[in-house]
Amino acid sequence: MLTDAQKQHYQRDGYIVLPDFKSAADIVTLRARAGQIVNEFDPKGAGIFSTVEQEKTTDDYFLRSDNTVRCFFEEEAFGPDGGLKQDKSLSINKIGHAMHDLDPVFRAFTADPRLVTVARDLGLADAKVWQSMYIFKQPGIGGEVRWHQDATYFDTDPVSVTTFWFALEDATLENGCMWAEPGGHRGPMRERFLRTGDHVRMEKLSDMPWPDDSTAVPLECKAGSLVCFHGLLPHYSAPNRSAFSRHAYTLHVTDGATDYSPLNWIQRDASFPVRGFL
Ligand code: FE2
């Protein structure tokens, strides 16, 4: 499916953008289902999601979302009185983390045979899909996602995690598109997110500084685009201060031939085994 030039681009830069991968109809269906999940969601006892102080903000609500479907609020969703500043449907940061296995509509979007081919072309002979997230990046309050590498959360030996990021709306500089450092995937893994039971911690592995806007590039893309990127590629996204949301759907995929760390925060067992795209 990928041309040799596309594969070389991926090897060199650590990411590739495939425009028009998903149809407008597929996007409408997924967005509608996400809207339903939020509509049915009871906010009592829910958590917020923040990547800035993740050890502190990680709680039972987050840890129990590993193999379920839960909604998380934006950090800035609440006013000083503790109430929502805007409608619930405009306050959710993301849904995670197992819709790809548990929700029929998300399952159908994920079970795309072309993804098997793309994954194989990127070096994943035996793709295993560990996590799905529906990211809202809400207008006005969509939070920053600080610089990180996705391999921090999905450690395998050797490194194999690859992110499949589907733009469900146009991603622009205004609404907080992703930024990445081309070629940065050839640098070291800087951090590892470790879970022991209900305790998590971030382990520092390297002093290599994060990139900044002088070497990073914005990954602006149209709705329907698929962005694939390497687990060691440093990336971040700025807060969304625009009047427009920036919905995206992501999958984190490893190669079954590698060793998946028993300290990764998402684990599966025989009762709910990790599966491929199909
Ligand atoms: Fe990420």
Task: Read off the pLDDT of residues 204-216 as tens digits, 9 standing for 90 and up.
Answer: 999 999 999 899 9
CATH number for 157? 2.60.120.620
State residue 181's pLDDT score.
98
The CA 174 to ligand 1 mean position distance, Å, reads: 19
Q: How many domains does the chain have?
A: 1
State residue 164's pLDDT score.
98
The CA 103 to ligand 1 mean position distance, Å, reads: 22
The CA 40 to ligand 1 mean position distance, Å, reads: 27
The CA 148 to ligand 1 mean position distance, Å, reads: 6
3-state DSSP of the chain: CCCHHHHHHHHHHCEEEECCCCCHHHHHHHHHHHHHHHHHCCCCCCCECCCCCHHHHCCHHHHCCCCCEEEEECHHHECCCCCECCCHHHCEEEEEECHHHHCHHHHHHHCCHHHHHHHHHCCCCCEEEEEEEEECCCCCCECCEEEECHHHCCCEECCCCEEEEEECCCECCCCCCEEECCCHHHCCCCEEEEEECCEEEEEECCCCCCCCCCCCEECCECCCCEEEEECCCCEEECCECCCCCCCEEEEEEEECCCEECCCCCCCCCCCCCCECCC
Q: Taking 80 as the threshold, does the pLDDT of residue 276 lie above it?
A: yes
Q: Taking 90 as the threshold, does the pLDDT of residue 268 lie above it?
A: yes
Would you say residue 94 lies in a domain?
Answer: yes
108 and 114 in contact (C-beta within 8 Å)?
Answer: no
Would you say residue 157 lies in a domain?
Answer: yes
State residue 272's pLDDT score.
98
CA nearest to 154, candidates 22, 31, 253? 253
The CA 104 to ligand 1 mean position distance, Å, reads: 25
Predicted TM-score (pTM) of this structure: 0.96
* Better-scored residue on pLDDT, 233 or 78: 233
Residues 6+ apart with CB under 8 A from 241: 140
- pLDDT category at 57 given cuts 50, 70, 90 is low
Would you say residue 272 lies in a domain?
Answer: no
Go through the chain and tell me how many residues it has. 278
Would you say residue 235 lies in a domain?
Answer: yes
The CA 41 to ligand 1 mean position distance, Å, reads: 25
Q: What is the mean pLDDT of residues 220-234?
A: 98
Q: What is the mean pLDDT of residues 18-35?
A: 98
Would you say residue 30 lies in a domain?
Answer: yes
Dihedral, 10, 13, 15, 21 alpha carbons, nearest 10:
-60
Which residues sit with Cβ closer than 5 angstroms to ligand 1, an ion? 150
The CA 81 to ligand 1 mean position distance, Å, reads: 32
Spatial distance between the Cα atoms of 235 and 155, rounded to a whole number of angstroms:
17
Full residue range of the structural domain in which residue 105 is found: 4-260
The CA 114 to ligand 1 mean position distance, Å, reads: 22
Would you say residue 274 lies in a domain?
Answer: no
Q: Of the given ranges (82-91, 113-122, 148-157, 240-249), which has the lowest mean pLDDT?
A: 82-91
Average pLDDT in the chain: 95
Would you say residue 154 lies in a domain?
Answer: yes
Would you say residue 175 lies in a domain?
Answer: yes
State residue 43's pLDDT score.
84
Residue type, 100: H
The CA 232 to ligand 1 mean position distance, Å, reads: 10
The CA 8 to ligand 1 mean position distance, Å, reads: 22
Q: Taking 90 as the threshold, does the pLDDT of residue 242 lie above it?
A: yes
State residue 29's pLDDT score.
98
The CA 4 to ligand 1 mean position distance, Å, reads: 26
Over pLDDT 90: what percentage of the chain?
90
Per-residue burial over 84-122, b = 16 or more CB atoms within 10 Å of its CB, e = otherwise:
eeeeeebbbbbbbbbbbbebeebeebbebeebbebbebb
The CA 250 to ligand 1 mean position distance, Å, reads: 9
